[in-house]
């Protein structure tokens, strides 16, 4: 059975969601939905190396074998190869790349790679379930449109909230908050902050 994108959001029941609003007298200006112009950090500071040996050992997955592509969900109807080719050929020079290993209830972690195309507002999401009992290192790819969610995130009023859309009349696939210039943090299925010490962040990188 196909795991839905960001399955972890429904597997961590019992977490305290939300937080209190900021208390300063003056609220800083909101953070733009997408990073400002300029490259991501190049010194590696704060950017998780998701295939580093120590990270693999911590996850208990040993050497990282080649992931198996299990399925593609295309909400655009244009085909993943077409978008991938456009990106590889430089048709989207403003493409933004984020990656990280997100928590998983029944596997070692979800290796997540998210590509955002600002112009057409298209996203490509690749999720690899590391060491899962069913289909180890199985990868699921989702292609769809993204948008900005109106309103203010109570836990972080300055953060912009991105929405990864699925079916036209269906619920969003995921919500993410841009907490700083190069970081996206996964929110819960209602778009609320997840209070947890687990790593829910994706960091911007130059490329995959």
Q: What is the tens place of the pLDDT at every residue in 122-133?
A: 999 999 988 766
Which range of 19-33, 64-78, 150-164 scores highest in mean pLDDT? It is 150-164
| 116 pLDDT above the threshold of 90 | yes
| 23 pLDDT above the threshold of 50 | no
Please give the pLDDT value at position 150.
82
The CATH number of domain 48-57+67-205, selected from 3.30.1490.20, 2.30.40.10, 2.40.128.640, 2.60.40.10:
2.40.128.640
Please give the pLDDT value at position 136.
65
Please give the pLDDT value at position 162.
94
The arithmetic mean of pLDDT across residues 104-127, rounded, is: 92
pLDDT digits (tens, 9 = 90+) for 38-83: 667 655 444 444 444 444 554 544 455 566 777 899 999 888 888 8
Helix, strand, or coil here: 184? strand
149-156 contact pairs (CB < 8 A, 24+): 149/175, 149/191, 153/177, 153/187, 153/191, 153/192, 153/193, 154/18, 154/19, 154/20, 154/21, 154/192, 154/193, 155/18, 155/19, 155/20, 155/21, 155/192, 155/193, 155/195, 156/22, 156/193
* pLDDT more than 70, % of the chain: 66
- The domain limits of the chain are 48-57+67-205
Please give the pLDDT value at position 133.
61
Give the residue from 182, 192, 64, 78 showing the smallest Cα distance to 124.
78
| 9 pLDDT above the threshold of 60 | no
Please give the pLDDT value at position 103.
92
Please give the pLDDT value at position 90.
85
């Amino acid at each position: 059975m196909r795991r839905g994108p960001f399955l972890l959001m429904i597997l961590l029941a019992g977490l305290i969601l939300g937080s209190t609003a900021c208390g300063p007298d003056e609220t800083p200006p909101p953070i733009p939905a997408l990073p400002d112009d300029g490259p991501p950090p190049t010194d590696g500071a704060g950017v998780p190396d998701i295939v580093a040996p120590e990270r693999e050992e911590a996850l208990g997955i040993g050497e990282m074998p080649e992931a198996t592509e299990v399925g593609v969900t295309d909400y655009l109807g244009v085909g993943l190869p077409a978008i991938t080719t456009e990106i590889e050929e430089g048709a989207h020079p403003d493409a933004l790349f984020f990656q990280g290993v997100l928590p998983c209830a029944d596997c070692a972690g979800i290796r997540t790679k998210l590509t955002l195309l600002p112009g057409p507002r298209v996203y490509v999401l690749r999720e690899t379930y590391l060491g899962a009992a069913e289909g180890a290192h199985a990868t699921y790819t989702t292609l769809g449109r993204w948008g900005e969610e109106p309103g203010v995130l109570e836990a972080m009023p300055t953060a912009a909230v991105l929405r990864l859309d699925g079916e036209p009349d269906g619920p969003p696939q995921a919500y993410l908050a841009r907490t700083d210039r190069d970081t996206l943090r996964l929110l819960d299925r209602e778009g609320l902050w997840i209070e947890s010490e687990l790593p829910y962040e994706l960091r911007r990188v130059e490329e995959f």
